[in-house]
């Protein structure tokens, strides 16, 4: 297998749902032990409810998964919750066995499926570094060698001899990630661990991950944060329903994932039966993208305002409801959140509501956008209904006719493109500068 | 470690698996750190701290001496009853703690099993090692008591480490069985305290094994702790050498250890899915 680090062949994992034959009490096992032979003697079928139950209630968390990974390659794995990503990582980490198929791995494997596994609250930061390091597979000498680096990366120098139960959650997470970030395996398996910590720390973690993969290590990286996946991975695999749906260049696969979670990504979504899946206080009926004309659209021109409208029924009269939207781009980055926060101060009352949010002209950048709709109350904070990626629409910019581009037809980067107020003033140059201007002209 | 050596094929396993002692040796530092963690955490936020390792057996000894030694007049074969019972309480307390810790070592550490790979045998192994510290502390007290009662150790004192090893094997062997069963059958959590109550009565802790009728002695000796405890009395206090009990003890402990290990290895492939 020359430079292959991982070869997965037809891997599958079957789980039993509902009552497990395994999870009996001793009493049941013992009574079976005695009743089964008697039943057999009497020529009756042996009654084994858990067992029959169990055969009809199996499901494949993962099936027919095959792929190869070269040494030093970084594979992003994406998919919805319950798609089978974590099962795949658990098999590759040898935490659980596959039901069928094989996976060949060359090199030391270390996996990071959770930040801070085995941390003990009563132990100090220093003690936990050693304990956690050993659990993750580091040698004591290796931990000692990297100790200062780990502490510095986590920024907990002052508290290193304090029990971690007194750490803030941020410090705790930083320390835990820092230990893991200093692993030096040949194959690294990482599951959704960047979702913790503040933005600044996330950025440093991403940097660390880039360092790791640049160092020639083979990395599996599972995340729901598409910006992290597209930044880190050239190759991405999309898993859905336990099967590999796509495996290829990051951008294409991420697009496919966004389509998958956004339904058909169209400008209007209505619920035949209003969606009251959360607490029943609010039922969502529809979410639509509308142009100024009121027309429902899948495509909008960024030079004009666009309205996102949601219709919902309020069934509980006593709630101070706030409708809101979150806007995401194709990379999964949240562009901004907008809420009708003026409504938080008074009860909404029972009724059929239509709430519309106007996005001003010249704010959005080109590309596909998704809006998630939500109705919540603030004090206490309760989400009464939410529709993730309820609608999707293409933001277009007709290059040739846009006066704001002033004839510029190249790429316009950025996740938003607001039209901002500018001031430019001009004054005459001081006289000493004229002397410099003259020779320049003379050169020509 | 070379890349060649660390080639791994992951696939469904069937039937019995070998114990894989090489992998355990490979992970010896993890065994040490987990045992060390149990020791470090044991007496946190207590007033008396590690003194508990002394207070507990000493109070037990006092109670035993008053009720069994004085009131019940249980014979101690010429040895002062306090030291007669204390010598037995040390290995028994170790065994009892090690057994309850190890039988809970898998169920109590599900988070590790579900998130990290390491040889699963490490969990019960490290949990029977940690209580050895308490044993060591209390052993110093025992030596002090021997001076107090003017009992000189026999040359067989050099066999004490061997007796400790037999005791660890008995605790680990039983712990392996129970911890693996505990994953599937949580009944084990209720059985262990009850089992230990019965077990101490069937072990010569409060009384000498000489009370047992000769005809029943081979059956009595199937309890591996019987040989260990009479062995301690022999090595430290100069009691009769318990040849039959001790040899049975060694054999039974070894059988428990090997079968427990094999059963554990067979069951461990489902731990992450069931636990």
Give A13's strand partners: A62
DSSP class of B153: P
pLDDT at A101: 94
User: What ipTM describes this predicted complex?
Assistant: 0.87
Q: Would residue A237 count as lying in a domain? A: yes
Residue A37 has pLDDT above 70, yes or no: no
> Is A95 in contact with B116 (Cβ distance < 8 A)?
yes
Cα–Cα distance for residue pair B53/B43, rounded to 1 Å: 10
Q: Please check whether residues A76 and A207 belong to one and the same domain.
A: yes
pLDDT at A271: 75
User: Which of these three, A199, A234, A261, is where a domain ends?
Assistant: A261
C-alpha closest to that of A181 among A197, A164, A161: A197
Q: Please check whether residues A333 and A223 belong to one and the same domain.
A: no
**How many residues are listed for chain A in this entry?**
444
Chain centroid to Cα A354, Å, comes to: 30
pLDDT at A51: 40
> Is B45 in contact with A186 (Cβ distance < 8 A)?
no
pLDDT at B170: 97
What is the arrangement of strands in the sheet containing A218-222, beginning at the earlier edge strand? Answer: A109-112, A187-191, A218-222, A74-78, A235-240, A243-249
Our CA-based measurement puts residue A188 at a distance from the nearest CA of chain B, in whole angstroms, of: 12
Task: Say how many CA atoms lie within 13 Å of A97 toward its Cβ.
Answer: 14
Cβ-Cβ contacts under 8 Å, A132 against chain B: none
Residue B124 has pLDDT above 80, yes or no: yes
B99 vs A182, residue with greater confidence: B99
Task: Say how many CA atoms lie within 13 Å of A321 toward its Cβ.
Answer: 26
Q: Which whole number is the average pLDDT over A327-355?
A: 88
Question: Which residue of chain B is at minimal alpha-carbon distance from A131?
Answer: B33
Q: Please check whether residues A168 and A273 belong to one and the same domain.
A: no
Residue B40 at interface with chain A, using a CB cutoff of 8 Å: yes
What is the arrangement of strands in the sheet containing A299-301, beginning at the earlier edge strand? Answer: A299-301, A382-396, A367-377, A321-329, A334-339
Q: Would residue A412 count as lying in a domain? A: no
Give A377's strand partners: A321, A382
Q: Please check whether residues A34 and A159 belong to one and the same domain.
A: no
Q: What is the CATH number of the domain that holds A181?
A: 3.40.50.300
Q: Would residue A404 count as lying in a domain? A: no
CB atoms within 10 A of CB B216: 9
User: Which of these three, A236, A261, A286, is where a domain ends?
Assistant: A261
pLDDT at A272: 67
| Percent of chain A topping pLDDT 70 | 82
Q: Would residue A299 count as lying in a domain? A: yes
pTM of the model: 0.72
* Crossing angle between the packed helical segments B160-184 and B81-103, to the nearest 10 degrees: 40
- Kindly write down the DSSP assignment for every residue of B207-259, as one continuous string: S-GGGS-GGGHHHHTTSHHHHHHHHHHHHHH-----HHHHHHHHHHHHHHHHH
Residue B111 zone, left/alpha/beta (φ > 0; ψ -120 to 50; rest):
alpha
Q: Please check whether residues A211 and A320 belong to one and the same domain.
A: no
Chain centroid to Cα A157, Å, comes to: 31
Question: Encoding tokens for residue A217?
Answer: 């290590």
Q: Which whole number is the average pLDDT over B113-132?
A: 93
Residue B270 at interface with chain A, using a CB cutoff of 8 Å: yes
pLDDT in tens, A61-91: 999 999 999 988 899 999 887 889 989 999 9
Q: Please check whether residues A77 and A146 belong to one and the same domain.
A: yes
Q: Please check whether residues A290 and A178 belong to one and the same domain.
A: no
pLDDT at A53: 41
Give A309's strand partners: A288, A356
C-alpha closest to that of A223 among A260, A194, A187: A194
Overall domain count for chain A:
3
Q: Please check whether residues A140 and A216 belong to one and the same domain.
A: yes
Task: Say how many CA atoms lie within 13 Å of B261 toward its Cβ.
Answer: 18
Q: How far is CA A105 from CA A241, B5, B9, B264, in A?
A: 24, 11, 6, 25
Task: Say how many CA atoms lie within 13 Å of B103 toward its Cβ.
Answer: 25
> Is B8 in contact with A104 (Cβ distance < 8 A)?
yes
A382 vs A238, residue with greater confidence: A238
Q: Would residue A443 count as lying in a domain? A: no
pLDDT in tens, A149-191: 999 988 889 999 999 999 988 888 889 888 988 888 888 898 8
Question: Which residue of chain A is at minimal alpha-carbon distance from B43?
Answer: A122
Residue B253 has pLDDT above 90, yes or no: yes
C-alpha closest to that of A285 among A268, A263, A299: A268
pLDDT at B50: 81
Beta strand A58-70 with A4-16 is: antiparallel
pLDDT at A345: 84
CB atoms within 10 A of CB B21: 11
In contact, A236 and A250? CB cutoff 8 Å? yes
Q: Please check whether residues A45 and A151 belong to one and the same domain.
A: no
Question: Which residue of chain B is at minimal alpha-carbon distance from A101?
Answer: B11
Q: Which whole number is the average pLDDT over B79-99?
A: 95
pLDDT in tens, B141-175: 999 999 999 998 888 899 999 999 999 999 999 99
Average pLDDT, chain B: 91
> Is B33 in contact with A186 (Cβ distance < 8 A)?
no
Containing domain of residue A114, as a range? 62-261
A269 vs A14, residue with greater confidence: A14
Strands in B123-228 per DSSP E: none
In contact, B235 and B161? CB cutoff 8 Å? no
Residue A278 has pLDDT above 60, yes or no: yes
Q: Which whole number is the average pLDDT over B235-259?
A: 94
Number of H helices, E strands in chain A: 10, 18
Where does residue A360 rank: exposed (0-12), middle (13-18), buried (19+ CB within 10 A)? exposed
Q: Would residue A421 count as lying in a domain? A: no
Q: What is the CATH number of the domain that holds A338?
A: 2.70.50.60
A259 vs A223, residue with greater confidence: A223
Chosen from B2, B7, B8 to mutate, greatest number of chain A CBs within 10 A: B8
Poorest-pLDDT segment among A259-263, A325-329, B85-89, B236-240: A259-263
Q: Would residue A2 count as lying in a domain? A: no
DSSP class of A444: -
- Kindly write down the DSSP assignment for every residue of A76-145, as one continuous string: EEE--TTSSHHHHHHHHTTSS--SEEEEEEES-EEEESSTTTT--TTSBHHHHHHHHHHHTT--HHHHHH
In contact, B89 and B65? CB cutoff 8 Å? no
Q: Please check whether residues A51 and A68 belong to one and the same domain.
A: no
Q: Please check whether residues A336 and A255 belong to one and the same domain.
A: no
Poorest-pLDDT segment among A37-51, B50-64, B93-107, B184-198: A37-51
Chosen from B34, B113, B116 to mutate, greatest number of chain A CBs within 10 A: B116
| Percent of chain B topping pLDDT 70 | 98
Q: Which whole number is the average pLDDT over B127-137?
A: 94
pLDDT at B44: 81
Q: Would residue A437 count as lying in a domain? A: no
C-alpha closest to that of A228 among A192, A175, A186, A261: A192
Q: Please check whether residues A179 and A281 belong to one and the same domain.
A: no
Burial A314-351 (b: 16+ CB within 10 A, else e): bbbeebebbbbbbbbbbbbeebeeebeeebeeeebeee
């Amino acid at each position: 297998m020359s430079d292959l680090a991982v070869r997965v062949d037809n891997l599958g994992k079957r789980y039993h749902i509902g009552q497990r034959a395994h999870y009996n009490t001793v009493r049941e096992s013992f009574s079976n032990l005695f009743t089964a032979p008697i039943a057999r003697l009497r020529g009756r079928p042996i009654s084994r409810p858990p067992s029959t139950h169990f055969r009809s209630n199996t499901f494949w968390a993962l099936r027919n998964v095959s792929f190869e990974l070269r040494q030093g390659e970084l594979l992003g794995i994406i998919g919805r919750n319950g798609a089978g990503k974590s099962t795949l990582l658990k098999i590759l980490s040898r935490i659980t066995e596959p039901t069928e198929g094989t996976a060949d791995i060359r090199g030391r494997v270390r996996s990071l499926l959770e930040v801070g596994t085995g941390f003990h609250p009563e132990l100090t930061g220093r003690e936990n570094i050693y304990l956690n390091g050993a659990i993750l597979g580091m040698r004591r000498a290796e931990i000692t060698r990297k100790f200062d680096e780990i502490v510095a990366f986590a920024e907990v120098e002052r508290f290193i001899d304090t029990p971690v139960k007194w750490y803030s959650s941020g410090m705790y997470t930083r320390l835990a990630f820092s230990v893991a970030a200093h692993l030096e395996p040949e194959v690294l398996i990482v599951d959704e661990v960047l979702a913790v910590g503040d933005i600044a720390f996330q950025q440093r973690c991403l940097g660390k991950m880039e360092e790791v993969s640049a160092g020639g290590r083979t990395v599996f990286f599972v995340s729901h944060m598409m910006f992290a996946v597209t930044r880190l991975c050239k190759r991405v695999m999309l898993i859905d329903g336990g099967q590999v749906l796509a495996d290829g260049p990051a951008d294409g696969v991420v697009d496919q994932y966004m389509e998958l979670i956004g339904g058909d990504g169209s400008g209007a979504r209505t619920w035949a039966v209003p969606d009251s899946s959360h607490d029943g206080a609010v039922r969502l009926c529809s979410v639509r993208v509308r142009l100024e004309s009121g027309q429902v659209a899948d495509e909008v021109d960024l030079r004009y305002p666009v309205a996102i409208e949601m219709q919902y029924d309020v069934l509980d009269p006593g709630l101070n409801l706030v409708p809101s939207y979150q806007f995401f781009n194709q990379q999964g980055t949240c562009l901004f959140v907008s809420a009708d926060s003026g409504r938080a101060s008074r009860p909404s009352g029972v009724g059929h509501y239509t709430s519309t949010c106007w996005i001003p002209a010249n704010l959005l950048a080109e590309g596909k956008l998704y809006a998630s709709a939500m109705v919540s109350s603030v004090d206490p904070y309760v989400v009464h209904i939410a529709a993730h990626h309820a609608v999707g629409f293409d933001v277009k910019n007709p290059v040739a006719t846009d006066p704001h581009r002033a004839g510029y037809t190249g790429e316009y980067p950025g996740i938003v493109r607001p039209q901002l107020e500018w001031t430019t003033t001009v004054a005459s140059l001081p006289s000493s500068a004229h002397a410099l201007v003259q020779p320049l002209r003379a050169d020509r | 470690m070379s890349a060649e050596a660390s080639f791994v094929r992951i696939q469904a396993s069937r039937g019995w698996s070998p114990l894989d002692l090489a992998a355990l040796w490979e992970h010896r530092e993890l065994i040490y750190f987990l045992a060390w963690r149990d020791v470090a955490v044991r007496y946190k936020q207590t007033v008396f701290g590690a003194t508990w390792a002394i207070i507990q057996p000493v109070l037990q000894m006092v109670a035993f001496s008053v009720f069994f030694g004085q009131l019940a007049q249980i014979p101690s074969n010429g040895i002062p009853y306090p030291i007669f019972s204390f010598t037995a309480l040390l290995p028994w307390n170790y065994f009892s703690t090690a057994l309850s810790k190890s039988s809970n070592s898998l169920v109590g550490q599900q988070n590790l099993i579900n998130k990290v790979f390491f040889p699963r045998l490490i969990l019960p192994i490290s949990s029977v090692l940690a209580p050895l510290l308490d044993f060591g502390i209390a052993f110093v007290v025992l030596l002090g008591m021997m001076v107090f009662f003017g009992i000189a150790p026999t040359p067989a004192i050099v066999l004490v480490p061997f007796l400790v090893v037999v005791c660890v094997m008995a605790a680990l062997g039983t712990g392996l069985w129970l911890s693996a069963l505990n994953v599937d059958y949580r009944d084990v959590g209720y059985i262990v305290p009850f089992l230990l109550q019965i077990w101490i009565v069937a072990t010569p802790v409060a009384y000498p094994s000489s009370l047992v009728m000769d005809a029943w002695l081979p059956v009595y000796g199937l309890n591996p702790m019987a040989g260990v405890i009479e062995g301690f009395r022999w090595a430290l206090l100069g009691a009769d050498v318990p040849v039959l009990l001790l040899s049975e003890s060694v054999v039974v402990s070894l059988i428990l250890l090997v079968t427990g290990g094999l059963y554990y290895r067979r069951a461990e492939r489902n731990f992450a899915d069931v636990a």
